[in-house]
Copies of this chain bind each other. A is one copy, B any other.
Amino acid sequence: MNDPGRQFLRRLGYVFKDESLLDRALTHRSAGSGHNERLEFLGDSIINFITAEFLYRAQPDAREGQLTRLRALLVRRDTLAAVARELDLGMALKLGGGELKSGGRDRDSILADALEALVGAVYLDSGMDSCRDLVQRLFAEKIAQVQQRRVAKDAKTRLQERLQAKGLPLPTYEVVEVKGAPHNREFQVFCRVESLHNPTRGVGGSRRQAEQAAARLALEQLNDQGH
- Could you say which of B49, B51, B56, B205 contacts A34, with CB atoms under 8 Å apart? B205
**A161 CB–B CB distance under 8 Å:** no
Name the distance in Å between A111's Cβ and chain B's nearest Cβ.
17
In the complex, which of the residues A34, A64, A205 has the most CB atoms of chain B within 10 Å of its own CB atom? Answer: A64
Categorize the interface residue count of chain A: 20 to 34
Residues of chain B within 8 A (CB-CB) of A64 are: 37-38, 40-41
B184 touches A20 (CB 8 A): no
A52 touches B56 (CB 8 A): no
- Could you say which of B48, B180, B186 contacts A45, with CB atoms under 8 Å apart? B48
Residues of A78-130 at the interface with B, using a CB-CB cut-off of 8 Å, are 120, 128
Can you list 27 pairs linking A and B with CB atoms under 8 Å apart?
Answer: A20-B183, A32-B180, A32-B186, A33-B180, A33-B204, A33-B205, A34-B184, A34-B205, A38-B56, A38-B62, A38-B63, A38-B64, A38-B67, A41-B52, A41-B64, A41-B67, A41-B68, A42-B53, A42-B56, A45-B45, A45-B48, A45-B49, A45-B51, A45-B52, A46-B49, A48-B48, A128-B128
